[in-house]
């Protein structure tokens, strides 16, 4: 490379950085950059550097970096969006609204913030990455973001149908689960008080259900009021899969709190082409053990047994025994009972001390109640409270009965044995953990779906849908990273193996 000064008639000459190359027998040159705007001393130093000469020591005082915007993560996310074909799924036209939605998804993955903070991160004066410059959104406002978000909420059904056509197939597994998250303020009509999975008391919340394929890739999401029961949402989701997505034959996978016996009887059994996989509740398993339909001696030789029961006609029950889970449950129970016993002994001692003894049935009961509520093992203790005394003893029969149930769980399914073996059935149910993984990504530091500050119902729904699309992109990025790690490990393995040989 070299620097050439090109005359420019009555104007100052052009200073060009050029490179020579050979094309056949001819030597040609091409321009790399136009350096006409640089000061003369900078150009002289560049000439000296290209010729191998000495550059002046104070070059830093001449060339100063005023600003550097991070770019790598932006390029990775936008590249993934293009690679997985999400752009035409959202909107076929490459317009400003499409660019804003891509920026919302990218910003949600990089640094999830409010729409106001996101717009500031895109503008030229306050940009925190190259995202605004690449998408030509350096003059975008928060109103533009809200307008695009509203359009995204209105287009949710059409986008979900395209995602389902891409990710779901006839006869495949459909994973479905629900979670909740809390709202700021009380203006949203969807906000209701209910069981808070976030453990946030005093806040209204919403419930949203996520539909994923067998690999845990999200396909659709729906928002419900915060006091919605899990089981009541199944019917609408089945209709969505059958009518909107056009799938007549799927295997529905859900937990025991969702696919209850009532839901199975009223919704799933009457739906042609819909099979299901779920688990039995603990009391249902206990009844099977008491009727000796589950013989615990069978687990001495193997950990998976398939049985049939008159209580569940036409269904398969796959009973599993997990020794590690059993040992963990027993250890946890013993620790909680031990901690409860220590606290109860303190109350017994307080009632028997000579000075200022604990007196009164109400006062003793209050202290005992605090201990029992703290450790949640009150069913193992028999309590005797009087006005001036307190005694307790351990219910060994109940404790031994629970120890028998440790590590025992039963998969309940309508899928025929010729279509899915017992081991495959267990693996299919365990795929539900991938939906839980999606919830962790949505609600933790990855995407920060909570808390929600939107007040309008359609904005809340659009916000949830935007976060789902962000996880859709993140899911593909993680899958690519896992595949790259596997390839690297396999290459290292074969390299070591070849070196040994």
Residues 243-260 have pLDDT tens digits of 999 999 999 999 999 999
Q: Identify the CA nearest to 451 among candidates 438, 441, 462, 460.
A: 460
Residue 348: pLDDT over 90: yes
Tokens linked to 391: 């005694």
Give the pLDDT of residue 377. Answer: 92
Q: And the tokens for 51? A: 């010729």
What pLDDT is attached to residue 55? 57
Residue-wise pLDDT for 365-395, tens only, equals 999 999 999 999 999 999 999 998 999 999 9
Confidence of residue 354 (pLDDT cuts 50, 70, 90): confident
State percent of the chain over pLDDT 70: 96
Number of H helices and number of E strands within the chain? 18, 13
Burial grade of 66 (CB within 10 A; 0-12, 13-18, 19 or more): exposed
Q: What is the pLDDT of residue 64?
A: 67
Q: Are 312 and 306 within 8 A, CB to CB?
A: no
pLDDT of 60 above 70:
no
Say if residue 431's pLDDT is above 60: yes
Q: Return the higher-pLDDT residue of 75 and 451.
A: 75
**pLDDT over 70 (residue 62):** no
What mean pLDDT is reported for the chain? 90
pLDDT digit string, tens, across residues 287-341: 898 888 888 777 777 789 898 898 999 899 999 988 888 899 999 999 999 999 9
pLDDT for the residue numbered 153: 95
- What distance lies between CA 223 and its chain's CA centroid? 16
Hey, how many other C-beta atoms are within 10 angstroms of the C-beta on 467?
A: 28
Percentage of the chain with pLDDT > 90?
Answer: 65
Give the span between the Cα atoms of 252 and 214, in whole angstroms: 10
pLDDT at 362: 93
Q: In the predicted model, is pLDDT for residue 223 greater than 80? A: yes
Give the range with max mean pLDDT: 173-177, 199-203, 489-493. Answer: 173-177
Residue 470 has pLDDT above 80, yes or no: yes
Q: At residue 495, does pLDDT exceed 80?
A: no
Cross-strand partners of 385: 390
What is the pLDDT at residue 490?
76
* Mean predicted confidence (pLDDT) in 122-134: 93
Quick check: 492 pLDDT over 80? no
**Is the pLDDT at 45 greater than 90, yes or no?**
no
- How far from 444 is each of 296, 430, 450, 467, 470, CA to CA, in Å? 40, 22, 8, 12, 13
DSSP code, position 417: T
Report the pLDDT value the prediction gives residue 11, as an integer from 0 to 100.
82
pLDDT exceeds cutoff 60 at 57: no
Q: What is the pLDDT of residue 497?
A: 67
Helix, strand or coil for residue 9? coil
Residue 59: is its pLDDT beyond 60?
no
3-state per-residue secondary structure call for 181-214: EEECCCCCCCCECCCCCCCCCCCCEEEEEEEECC
Least confident of 183-192, 251-260, 489-498: 489-498
Q: How many residues does the chain have?
A: 501
């Amino acid at each position: 490379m070299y620097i050439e000064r090109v005359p420019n008639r009555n104007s100052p000459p052009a200073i060009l950085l050029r490179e020579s190359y050979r094309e056949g027998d001819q030597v040609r040159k091409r321009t790399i950059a136009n350096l006409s705007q640089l000061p003369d001393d900078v150009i002289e130093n560049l000439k000296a550097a290209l010729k191998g000469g000495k550059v002046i020591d104070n070059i830093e005082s001449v060339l100063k970096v005023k600003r550097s915007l991070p770019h790598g993560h932006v390029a990775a996310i936008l590249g993934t969006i293009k690679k997985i074909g999400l752009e035409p799924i959202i909107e076929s036209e490459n317009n400003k609204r499409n660019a804003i939605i891509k920026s919302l998804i990218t910003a949600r993955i990089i640094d999830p913030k409010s729409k106001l903070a996101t717009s500031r991160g895109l503008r030229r004066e306050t940009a925190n990455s190259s995202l605004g410059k690449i998408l030509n959104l350096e003059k975008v406002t928060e109103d533009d973001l809200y307008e695009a978000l509203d359009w995204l909420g209105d287009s949710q059904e059409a986008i979900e149908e395209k995602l389902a056509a891409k990710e779901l197939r006839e006869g495949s597994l459909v994973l479905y689960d629900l979670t909740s998250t809390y709202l700021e303020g009380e203006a949203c009509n969807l906000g209701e008080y209910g069981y808070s999975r976030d453990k946030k008391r005093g806040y209204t919340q919403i419930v949203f259900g996520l539909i994923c394929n067998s690999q845990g890739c999200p396909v659709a999401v729906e928002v419900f009021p915060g006091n919605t029961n899990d089981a009541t949402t199944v019917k609408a989701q089945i209709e969505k899969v059958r009518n909107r997505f056009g799938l007549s034959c799927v295997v529905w996978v859900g937990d025991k709190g969702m696919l209850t016996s009532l839901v199975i009887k009223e919704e799933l059994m009457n739906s042609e082409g819909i099979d299901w996989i779920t688990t039995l509740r603990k009391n249902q398993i206990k009844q099977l053990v008491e009727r000796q339909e589950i013989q615990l001696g069978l687990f001495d030789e193997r950990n998976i047994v398939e049985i049939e029961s008159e209580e569940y006609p036409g269904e398969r029950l796959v009973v599993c025994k997990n020794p590690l889970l059993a040992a963990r449950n027993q250890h946890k129970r013993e620790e909680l009972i031990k901690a409860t016993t220590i606290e109860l002994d303190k109350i017994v001692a307080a009632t028997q001390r000579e000075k200022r003894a604990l007196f009164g049935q109400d006062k003793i009961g209050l202290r005992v109640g605090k201990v029992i509520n703290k450790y949640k093992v009150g069913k193992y203790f028999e309590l005797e409270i009087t006005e001036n005394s307190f005694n307790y003893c351990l219910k060994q029969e109940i404790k031994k009965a629970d120890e028998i149930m440790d590590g025992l769980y039963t998969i309940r399914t309508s899928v025929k044995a010729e279509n899915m073996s017992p081991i495959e059935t267990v693996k299919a149910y365990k795929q539900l953990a991938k939906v839980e993984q999606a919830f962790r990504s949505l609600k933790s530091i990855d995407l920060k779906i909570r808390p929600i500050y939107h007040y309008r119902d359609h904005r809340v729904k659009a916000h949830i849908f935007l976060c789902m699309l962000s996880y859709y992109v993140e899911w593909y990025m993680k899958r690519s990273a896992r595949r790259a790690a596997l390839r690297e490990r396999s290459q290292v393995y074969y390299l070591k193996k070849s070196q040994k040989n």
